[in-house]
Structure formats: C-alpha cells, structure tokens
Amino acid sequence: MKTIRLIIACLPFLVSCKNQETNALRSDVIDIEYGLQNLAKLKTSDFGKTIRYIPLETTDDGVVGNNPIIKVLKDYIVMEFQSPRSCLLFDKKDGSFISKIGNIGQGPNEYSDIFSLTDEKEENLYFKRSPGQLLKFDMKGNFCGNIAFSTPPGLADYYLFTDSEIIGYFSGLGPTYPFSLGFFDQEGNLNDSIPLLYPKFQLDAGEIERVSALRSGSSNYGNWGKAGLIFIDYKNDTRLIIAANVVARMWKNNGNVRFKEDYVDTLYTVSDRKLIPSIIFNTGKYHWPVEEITNKKNTNERICITDVSENDNFVFFQCIKGMHTNECVLYNGLYDKKTGATKLGNNNEAIADDLTHFMPFTPLGISTSGEFVSYVEAYKIMVWLEEHPEAKNNEQLAFLKNLNEEMNPVVILIE
C-alpha cells in the first residue's frame, strides 16, 4: 500500500536563530490572546482614511465569473475564477477591461491553473503548467515564453519573483521535498533552499477515511479557503487535516520579502536566503501545539492563523478558533505597526463603513501598493439599494447611479 506523506505544522521558529533574535522580537508581537479576550467592532476608518470605488467594465469578453479571486497590482486588477475558469485583467485607474489572459487546457501555450503570479515589475503574469513550467503572458494577453523548472523539485505551490531570483514555496502536501523554500534563477534552476520548518509526518493510507474538497470556499474559513480547501479525514473520526489550495504565503513589504507558513505562529523576513523571525503571533492559552495539530478532539479553543497580508502601517490577518470542529469561529485582526495595538473582531459582526456609509466592508487582503482590497457583486449592491435608496444622493457613491445587477463587481480600495 502506498504511503501518503503529510507535512504537519510546527516549530515556532528556527532553533538556530532563536536565542539571538528573541530580544528583537519582543517589540513585534501581535497579541491574539488579548484580542480574543477584548473583542472590538472593526470599522472602515480602522483601515484607512479614504475609500475608492472602481466598477469593473462589463463587456462580452470580460464578464467576471462566480467567487473570483482578486489581485490588485500597481496598475492592474486581476480577477480569477473557476466558473467559468478564466483570468481577466482590468485597468486600476478606471476599471476598464483590458484582456483575457490565456486559456486553461492541454493545448499549446495553455496552462493548468488559472491562479496567476506576477514578476517583480508587474509587467507580466505567469501561470502553472504541469508538470514543471510557468507560462508567461504580457498584460495584453500575449504568450511570451515559459520557465521550465527541474524535476525534482518540479512546480512549487506558490512563487514570488524578486529582481534577482524566483522563490518557490513547497507545502509538502503531496510530493515531499526536504525544503520549504527553494531559490531559483530565471531559467528555473535551483540554486539554494531553506530546510523544512517542521518534521515530516507519515501515515499509511489505510488510516485515512476520506479525502474531500471544498471548491468555492466558505465564510467559516475566510480568505484562506477562498480558492478551495482539501480535507483529509482519519478513521475513527479522531484526526483531520485542512489544507488551502492557493494562498499567498510570501509577499513583499517595504523592500522586504515576508513568509508565513501555515500553522506556524511566526512571520519571517527572507534575507540572504535565510529566515529571520520578525513578528510573533502570541496565541497564549489558545496556542495549538504541533503534536496536536491533527487532533479533532479538545481543540475547540485552539487558534490557527490562516491568512496574513501587510502594508507599511498594518498587518491584516484572519484566524480561526476551533477549526477542526463544527462550531469554528472566524476572526478578522488588525495590527498597528506604529502603536503596537491589536484589534480583533468576530467575522460575523459586519465591518461598518463609517467613511462613506456604504455596505459593510469585507477585507480580502492588501494590494501591492498597500491598499486594503475588497469587492462587491453588482446584484448584491442592487439589493442593498432597495433598502437604502438615499445612498444614490451620496456624492461619494456616485457610481451607484449607473449600476445594474448584470454588471461586473465593484472593487473597493481603502488607504
């Protein structure tokens, strides 16, 4: 019987640098334990001072599908969705439709995954083509070549482009490699790597009851599960592993490459191909020990940090309490870098718009320019307008006058 190797999360930070970094970390602690015991009602003014609304142009070739994943770059808005499977590009200035980027399939220049990556200068988009390529397209949708990665290691789960190399993240769910980050040149050759942050876990396939997938995400799992989740249930209903399909576990902020591994309560800076612990998520009494990470029993109060993004002023994150139970609770968190304050709010309590008095705000991450990002489907706005007809008289919401339920979503940016 084949052996299934699953990586379980773990070491809070690298032992080799723990002692020398401890003092530096004390001023950079996101206090989740305090936040859970002192829940706040978040509002849009907590995220920034101004809100910008960008209705995306609706054309025959540019209709956004269901449950899109949004990426906001310096000059572009990327919308990716599974139904129908496609990637569309819009102008960030006015929301005008630019192009459909490539096609999914097995034909020449077709990719196998709709979720895109961008290069350092945000001039091109890259898509995975199994078993070992990234296909390159310009922002007009023209195919511009490929990067072929050696096998092994083959394709990583996620890639981040810098000005000098490509960093690949390997989750370990599936083929197991002896490293979590690989450093590649522009031709796909592996030059260096960072070892796994946690021990490997092996289990005979006979101990697994079922493997299932949640394709369109769920509000219980927030942004972490937006692109889909994999559930691995153990026999006797004692253990469970939940893995996210597409999550940006690396990003850039203020010239630094950041890295947040699933289940690890530390945010790292990647420097000189090494991990430097930079921010600790203090979960306190809610901490989920590594030896219990697959447990289903006695985990009602355990906290898992599932989604993290960052700009110069804030760290935005989501965390789930009791993730392996039927009563899991999702929280939105905001850490102020200047004051060191942490605000945590229950996701079931809407984030009120106290800046323009529009619909509640649902943060979906942070753009590469530092804006908080969200979007609302047009049909949901039309339903809201029936209850708030006076909103059309609000000059800050002028876009409402030309909206109908058949249009593309409206993108929301806060800074």
129-157 pLDDT tens trace: 999 999 999 999 999 999 999 867 778 98
Q: Please give the pLDDT value at position 236.
A: 83
Burial state string for 384-400 with b = 16 or more CB within 10 A and e = fewer than 16: ebeeeeebeeeebbeeb
Cα 363 from Cα 360, distance rounded (Å) = 10
Decide: residue 106, CB within 10 A, 0-12 exposed, 13-18 middle, 19+ buried. Answer: exposed
DSSP secondary structure letter of residue 217 = -
Q: Please give the pLDDT value at position 62.
A: 96
pTM of the model: 0.90
> Is pLDDT at 19 greater than 50 in this prediction?
no
Q: Please give the pLDDT value at position 204.
A: 66
Q: Please give the pLDDT value at position 216.
A: 66
Cα 371 from Cα 300, distance rounded (Å) = 34
Cα 325 from Cα 323, distance rounded (Å) = 6
**Of the listed ranges 94-98, 154-158, 165-169, 290-294, the one predicted with least confidence:** 290-294
Q: Please give the pLDDT value at position 293.
A: 82
- What residues contact 413, with CB distance under 8 A and at least 6 apart? 51, 52, 54, 72, 367, 371, 372, 373
> Is pLDDT at 357 greater than 50 in this prediction?
yes
Mean pLDDT of the chain: 88
> Is pLDDT at 410 greater than 90 in this prediction?
yes
Please spell the DSSP secondary structure of 226-248, one letter per residue.
Answer: TT-EEEEEEGGG-BEEEEESS--
**Of the listed ranges 102-116, 141-155, 257-271, 331-345, the one predicted with least confidence:** 141-155
User: Residues 70, 375: contact at Cβ < 8 Å?
Assistant: yes
Q: Please give the pLDDT value at position 289.
A: 83
Q: Which of 316, 320, 292 is nearest to 306 (CA)?
A: 320
Helix, coil or strand: residue 373: strand
Structure confidence by residue, pLDDT tens digits, 311-356: 999 999 999 999 999 889 999 999 999 999 999 999 999 999 999 9
> Is pLDDT at 78 greater than 60 in this prediction?
yes
Structure confidence by residue, pLDDT tens digits, 155-180: 898 999 999 999 999 886 655 677 89
Cα 118 from Cα 160, distance rounded (Å) = 8
Catalogue all structural domains in the chain, each as residue range(s) with its CATH number: 16-414 (2.120.10)
Q: Please give the pLDDT value at position 98.
A: 98
Between 51 and 1, whose confidence is greater? Answer: 51
User: Residues 393, 386: contact at Cβ < 8 Å?
Assistant: no
Q: Please give the pLDDT value at position 4.
A: 35
Q: Please give the pLDDT value at position 174.
A: 59
**pLDDT above 70: percentage of residues in the chain:** 90
> Is pLDDT at 200 greater than 80 in this prediction?
no
Q: Please give the pLDDT value at position 17.
A: 37
**Of the listed ranges 55-59, 285-289, 351-355, 365-369, the one predicted with least confidence:** 285-289
> Is pLDDT at 199 greater than 70 in this prediction?
no
Torsion of CA 200, 201, 204, 207, to 10 degrees: -160
Both tokens of residue 354?
A: 């106290």
Decide: residue 296, CB within 10 A, 0-12 exposed, 13-18 middle, 19+ buried. Answer: middle
Q: Please give the pLDDT value at position 10.
A: 34
Helix, coil or strand: residue 375: strand
